[in-house]
Each structure stands twice: as structure tokens, then as C-alpha cells.
Amino acid sequence: MKYLTLKQAEEVYHVSHNTMYRWVRTGKLEAKHIGRKWLVIESANDMSEPVAKSLLANAFKDFAGDIIADCAYLDSNGEIELHSDKLEVHVTKYAELVTKLINWNG
């Protein structure tokens, strides 16, 4: 079983610190409270249905935002172009999260 700090879990699940802390406090994600730290168990099977749906929604929202911010640019004719190498990185990143959510058996 692999554990993540809250900060690591925020990056893995693409959510804010407040959202992650709320999910842990309310039991939507399984976590251990050790001293002053929370350690989140990294497993798609530990997610509740609302968490899985929220992660999927955030993944698509982040994916669209990342493409616009990092991959799209205007060429000399004012046409929108995409950096294909950067796009591939984002597609791979979000495909992994979506696959994890699809394989979740809630």
C-alpha cells in the first residue's frame, strides 16, 4: 500500500488543498492521521463515487485549461496552432487519470 502526503495527493487527484483536506476529514478518501500529518492511501478503489466523479470532472477541466495555456498559440496568420509534443504530454497525463477512474469499481 502506497501513502501520499496531502500535497502529493492534491497533485495526483488534481484538486485544491481545501478539497483534499475536506475529502480526508469526511472519509471520502481513506487516510491515516499520524501526528500532525495526513497520509492518503493511493488507490482508486478507495474512492467514493462523489470523489471519482469530481476527479473526472476536474481532469477534463484541467485538461482543457492546460491545452489552452500550454499548447495553443497563434501563428503569424492569426490561426490557432498546437504544440504537438506538449499536447502529447498532457494527453498522456490525463489518460492515466481517466483510466484509473474507469477502472474504479465503486
Q: Tens of pLDDT along 73-96?
A: 788 888 888 777 777 877 787 777
pLDDT at 22 over 70: yes
Specify the pTM: 0.47
pLDDT of residue 49: 67
Order of strands across the sheet that contains 3-5? 3-5, 37-41, 31-34
The C-alpha cell at 75 is 501563428
Provide the H-helix boundaries in the chain: 6-13, 17-26, 49-66, 84-102
For the chain, domain boundaries? 3-102
pLDDT of residue 23: 82
